Amino acid sequence: MKKYNFSRIEKKWQAKWLKDKTYEPNIEKPRKKGKFYNLMMFPYPSAEGLHVGNMYAFTGSDIYGRFKRMEGYDVLEPIGLDGFGIHSENYALKVGTHPVKQSKVSEKRFYQQLRMIGNGFAWQEHVETYDPEYYRWTQWLFVQMWRHGLAYRKKQSVNWCPKDKTVLADEQVIAGKCERCGAVVEKRELEQWFFKITEYAGRLLKNLDAIDWAEKVKIAQRNWIGKSEGALLRFRLTSDVPSVGVNIKDVGRPYLEVFTTRPDTLFGATYVVLSPEHELVEKLKDRISNFKEVAAYAKKAAGKSDEERIAGGKDLSSHKASAERGKTGVELKGIKAINPANDEEIPVWVADYVLGSYGTGAIMAVPAHDERDFEFAKKFGLPIRQVIALETGIPRPSEERRDGGCGVVFDPRTQKYAVAVHPDGIVRLFGGGFNDGEDGREGTLHEIAEESGLYDFSHVEEIGTCFAHYRNRRKQVYRSGLTKCFLVILRSDKVKERHPEPHEVNLHLEWMPAAEIVKNWKGYNQERDLDHWLAFLREGVARAIELGYDTTSNPAHFPSEALLGVGKVVNSGKFDGVDSEEAKWEITKFVHGEKKTQFHLRDWLISRQRYWGPPIPMIRCEVCAAAGKGENKEMPGWYAVPEKDLPVKLPMVKDFRPEGKGESPLASVKTFYEVKCPACGSKAQRETDVSDTFLDSSWYYIGYLMKCNNGKLKIGDSAFAERMRVWLPVDMYIGGAEHSVLHLLYSRFVSMALHDWGLVDFEEPFTTFRAHGLVIKEGAKMSKSKGNVVNPDEYIKKFGADALRMYLMFMAPLEQGGDFRDSGILGITRFLDRVWKITQRVLDPKKSVHSAPAFADTHHVPDGFKRILHKTIKKVTEDIESLQYNTAISALMILLNEAEKQEKATGLPRYFFEDFLKLLAPFAPHIMEELWRELGNKSSIHLESLPAYEEKMLKENAVEVIVQVNGKRRGSVMVEAGTSEETVQDRALSVETVAAALRGQKVKRVIYIKGKIINLVI
């Protein structure tokens, strides 16, 4: 018997496939069922060779591609390297090699490794992003963005990584640290190139609904785009500082514009806040009496990294909470804003918790209903006014409806409020459910008198309503109703006899200052969910202060939290009682505000002050700039490099190290940056920054098509347009979830732009996207420091690529990732060994390999075996389609177990081997090819069609029906398929163990699930 030598077999077929162009599709005219573009995220070859995570992803994608090929599609499965950019440059820095040289070394190593894993790559179509013939088109893309008004330059405070010495996009800053090197990110003001991706925000969001992508990636993109519906509101500004320079009306905008998603809370806006970088801070300098202080604050805030700004914000989690922590800000003294809703004069602050880059860079602060404003207001003693009575839930019709009321009872002489104290320490307001025929005011005063005895009041005023739910210990709602709240001012503390309800007899009256009540309020909802009464208390106290009764409470200090959520508007003049959702637009209209949709998405920062990337193909001419001339009116002096001059080749710069001056190393290469102005011919300067790596990878799926058949096609050619029409969009894209928002969003943006320019006929580049999971080792993350990194080379050497591929896929579903355990791979090795042997046995050791194999006569093989085979075909086909390779492999193992039994009984028919090997071919391509050829086939198994299952072959003729008594298994009966319920029941009753369980009791009910289970209920 021939021995199984995977090493020899794998090498042999890898060479043969390459020679035969087995995996090269017919680009011009796809064969058979048509094209299938099977794309996997290309790797960046920076680290120490191919990682097992790469191999996991590639294998997962390759199996799918091979499966589609065997389904009859002409599959394009290209591969390339994303080797241009910071990560590759950093690797070069680390190993001390020049990136030009290093890229060649990495390329060789990666491609060599990639050839060993057994993927069906179309090698002719490979691309490398650092190849000038590739980045010619990356630069071309930049030029198109410029020509279409989507590229612009602006000075911006940007994220600056002090270690990588470059600008980072927001997406590359993780919790204030650099995504790649982990250094704390700083802020710097630099002129940068941006792409207007925000112009596409709406479409990028909307199209998500129509594409077949992993749901979590869609969610991540939706969150990133971050659409919010709100309003732009204007606050007039006034000043009591005598005008020195500018008149307040002459600052360009005599009002402050804010964006808010909660215009319904406008009446509760008790101050406004500008971001430190807001233009009005500078413009109003003459009107700000403490400008020095303000300017110092703004300067400090601008230099702070986001990390520091956030650290200054709420950090309630850490116990090291020092007094230093908390929000910071400075009031603009001398300036006031007018709340347009109630014409109230309110203070203006500048604080770094407001971001300059979002909305209008200014907010109206509603501390009662926003956590951040609340925290700020508390710290600086600013007023907090509740304007929303929260809804505590939605009642169900079945629940008993009972309205009620409560009172905030204040004694002006002692400056204290009345509270009901329960024996177990629970504190609440006086009040309760109304009796029949009572209304709000009368009923509430009645309840107060009943519980506290108090009845002599000088002032009673309704201050709020909410729809409340009362819950039992299990938090189930047992009663719902409208609850009203009244502020009640005591005339005298005369009391009459109490008539409390039985459960309230132990209740007693206590007087406390507002803050103390709030402090003692803890956990009232242990028994009933009455936290809305706390909101009423705040409301009542605020009103008592307003009326001048309460002179000791400081409303800024006693509430314990902001009230988030929606409900009915209160304290808002004529809008009182309106649902907050409605009030949003009514109030917006009332103050002549404007409805506005705001996106979280920012423009794409393209510039990188580094060496290893495609130079941005732009030229700056000072002469034209001075004359106001240029390709873009708004940006005089700027010209795109003419397309005939592309690519702008990256010059060889020996010292490519970033210097940290905010300039690319190219800025010191005179021969590079000195050029002639394309318009006027005067001395001009080339842009010396390079572009972001994500621009390289945003269009690489098109790049592969350019390389097809060694073509020299280009975008814009009609032949290339036709090629793109045939092959795009990508049918299946598999990659890591870590690119959910970066690469995938930019690619979508670019393809949408190409579509708008009339160059491609699709908007979405990837029809289907699936994210593979992560590979961990023995339950732990792989890392070099732990020394537990799986090196694929070693395993391929030891077990073969087929075994490694299959083991990786057997661990768990592809989308889940897997736990790599060294011992586990042996199971796969054994399996492949048995597949090898069972095939060798049929090839009869006595004859030569080339003579006819000794198959069993088909007629001798029972239908039962064929049924198992067909069930396996069905299962494997379906599982591959849904990327559940683990269960597909398991089904194939079961089939082999059955086949070995069958072999002993009757021998195995030819059809078994053909189908079995084909089903295994996507998983273990080398061995299957070898065995397939040994069976006498002349062409590749990978170009064969998958076996099809026959529906009629799946039907069992005898089935086991489980017999349950009261839902517990007590036995089973074998019956013919289609046996009537009565017969099954009779048979079930005659089973000994079933009869024993019934113990002669009468069967009350029988549930029969056809062919599966019969449950006898007694």
Partner RNA sequence: GGGCAGGUGGCGAAACCGGCAGACGCACGGGCUUUAGGAGCCCGCGCCGCAAAGGCGUGAGGGUUCAAAUCCCUCCCUGCCCACCA
- Using CB under 7 A, which residues numbered 275 to 294 contact RNA? 275
Nearest distance, CB of residue 992 and RNA, angstroms: 10
**Cis bond leading into 43, ω under 30°?**
no
Nearer to RNA, 198 or 767 (CB): 198
The C-alpha atoms of residue 17 and residue 124 are separated, in whole angstroms, by 13
Listed ranges 97-105, 213-221, 403-411, 569-577: which one lies at the site for RNA (CB under 7 A): 213-221
- Rounded CA-CA distance 403/577 in Å is 16
Of 97, 228, 342, 415, which lies in the binding site for RNA, with binding defined by CB under 7 A?
228
216 is an interface residue for RNA by CB under 7 A = yes
779 binds RNA (CB under 7 A): yes
Site string for RNA, 475-514 (x = CB under 7 A): x---------------------------------------
Q: Binder to RNA among 72, 162, 202, 226 (CB under 7 A)? A: 226
358 binds RNA (CB under 7 A): yes
Q: What are the structure tokens assigned to 555, written together? A: 């409303």
Q: Which stretch binds RNA (CB under 7 A): 160-168, 359-367, 606-614, 947-955?
A: 359-367
User: Which of 321, 826, 854, 954 touches RNA by CB under 7 A?
Assistant: 826
Region 259-278 residues binding RNA, contact defined as CB under 7 A: 259-262, 275
Examine residue 220 and tell whether it contacts RNA (CB under 7 A).
yes
Peptide bond into 383 cis (omega under 30): no
Site string for RNA, 886-915 (x = CB under 7 A): xx-xx--xx--x--x---------------
CA gap 115, 108 in Å, rounded: 11
Tell me which residues in 592-621 interact with RNA (CB under 7 A).
598, 600
Q: Which is nearer to RNA, 192 or 260 (CB)?
A: 260
Q: Does 201 bind RNA (CB under 7 A)?
A: no
Assess 827 for contact with RNA (CB under 7 A): yes
Residues in region 378-407 near RNA by CB under 7 A: none
509: left (phi over 0), alpha (psi -120 to 50) or beta: beta
Stretch that binds RNA, among 351-359, 616-624, 658-666, 864-872 (CB under 7 A): 351-359
The whole-angstrom separation of Cα 889 and Cα 804 is 13
d(CA 818, CA 773): 7
303 binds RNA (CB under 7 A): no
Contact 434, 404 (CB under 8 A): yes
The span of 238-246, 256-264, 633-641, 753-761 binding RNA (CB under 7 A) equals 256-264
Residue 493: DSSP 8-state:
-
Which of these ranges, 506-514, 622-630, 945-953, 992-1000, lies near RNA under the rule CB under 7 A? 992-1000
Cβ pair 421, 510 in contact under 8 A:
yes
1009 touches RNA (CB under 7 A): yes
DSSP 337-360: EEETTTTEEEEEEEETTS-TTSTT
Q: 648 CB contacts (<8 Å, ≥6 apart)?
A: 139, 614, 615, 617, 641, 686
Q: How far is the CB of 361 from RNA (least distance, A)?
A: 6
- Closest CB to RNA among residues 360, 609: 360
Hey, what are 674's tokens? 């000195």
The neighbour count for residue 112, using CB atoms within 10 Å, is 12
- Judged by CB under 7 A, the chain residues 155 through 174 that form the site for RNA are 170-171, 174
Residue with tokens 């086909």: 877
Q: How far is the CB of 146 from RNA (least distance, A)?
A: 26
With CB under 7 A as the contact rule, the residue among 483, 884, 902, 940 that binds RNA is: 884
Q: Tell me: does residue 460 bind RNA (CB under 7 A).
A: no
Q: Which positions ≥6 away from 238 have C-beta within 8 Å?
A: 248, 335, 336, 337, 338, 345
Does the footprint of RNA cover residue 1005 (CB under 7 A)?
A: yes
Nearer to RNA, 299 or 830 (CB): 830
818 binds RNA (CB under 7 A): yes
Stretch of 109-117, 281-289, 635-643, 823-831 contacting RNA, by CB under 7 A:
823-831
Q: What share of the chain is helix, strand, coil (3-state, %, to 5)?
A: 40, 25, 40
Q: Is 850 helix (H, G, I), strand (E, B) or coil?
A: coil
Binding RNA (rule: CB under 7 A), the pick from 96, 209, 317, 655 is 317
Kindly list the distances between the CA atom of residue 7 and the CA atoms of 13, 91, 803, 804, 1006, in Å, as whole numbers in the listed order: 10, 32, 11, 13, 61
Q: Contact with RNA (CB under 7 A): which of 202, 303, 313, 636?
A: 313
- Residues 6+ positions from 828 with CB-CB distance below 8 Å: 799, 803, 806, 807, 810
User: What part of residues 944-983 is at the interface with RNA (CB under 7 A)?
Assistant: 960, 962, 964, 966-970, 972
Give the pairing of strands 212-213 and 766-772. parallel
Q: Tokens at residue 154, please?
A: 């602006």
Q: For residues 934 and 849, give the distance between their C-alpha atoms in angstroms, rounded to a whole number.
A: 7
Q: Which two tokens stand for residue 855?
A: 């198959």
Please say which residue, 74 or 352, places its beta carbon nearer to RNA. Answer: 352
Closest distance of CB 337 from RNA, Å:
15
Query: Which range binds RNA by CB under 7 A, 191-199, 304-312, 417-425, 548-556?
Result: 304-312
Among 10-18, 478-486, 537-545, 820-828, the segment contacting RNA (CB under 7 A)? 820-828
Site for RNA in 409-448 (CB under 7 A): none
Q: Which of 813, 909, 925, 947 binds RNA (CB under 7 A)?
A: 813
CA gyration radius, the chain = 37
Of 305-313, 422-430, 479-487, 677-685, the window that binds RNA (rule: CB under 7 A) is: 305-313
- Give the nearer residue to RNA in terms of CB position, either 333 or 372: 372
Of 199, 793, 833, 903, the one binding RNA by CB under 7 A: 833
Interface with RNA (CB under 7 A), residue from 60, 347, 359, 729: 359
276, 297 contact by CB (below 8 A): yes
**Count of residues engaged in binding RNA, rule: CB under 7 A:** 93
**Can you tell me the distance from the alpha carbon of 632 to that of 637, in angstroms, rounded to the nearest whole number?**
8
Q: Does 792 bind RNA (CB under 7 A)?
A: no
> 765, 690, 791, 736: which is closest to 129 by C-alpha?
690
Give the x/- contact pattern for RNA in 46-85, rule: CB under 7 A: ----------------------------------------
What secondary structure does DSSP assign to 21-47, as a single string?
TTT---SSS--TT-EEEEEEPPPPTTS
185: tokens are 């990110």
Report the nearest approach of RNA to the CB of residue 433 (Å): 24
Which of these, 700, 89, 70, 602, lies nearest to 357 by C-alpha position?
A: 602
Q: Does 746 bind RNA (CB under 7 A)?
A: no
Least Cβ distance, residue 488 to RNA (angstroms) = 34
* Residue 734 in the binding site for RNA (CB under 7 A): no
The residue within the footprint of RNA, chosen from 372, 686, 777, 870 (CB under 7 A), is 372
SS3 letters for 122-136? CHHHCEECCCHHHHH
Nearest approach, Cβ of 886 to RNA (angstroms)?
Answer: 5
Q: What is the DSSP string of 816-841?
A: TEEEE-GGGHHHHHHHHHHHHHHHHH
175, 505, 943, 1003: residue in contact with RNA (rule CB under 7 A): 175
Instruction: Identify which of 713, 979, 935, 699 has the alpha carbon closest to the alpha carbon of residue 840.
Output: 935
Smallest distance from RNA to CB 847, Å: 23
Name which of 627 and 996 has its Cβ closer to RNA. Answer: 996
Tell me the C-alpha distance between 273 and 258, whole Å.
9
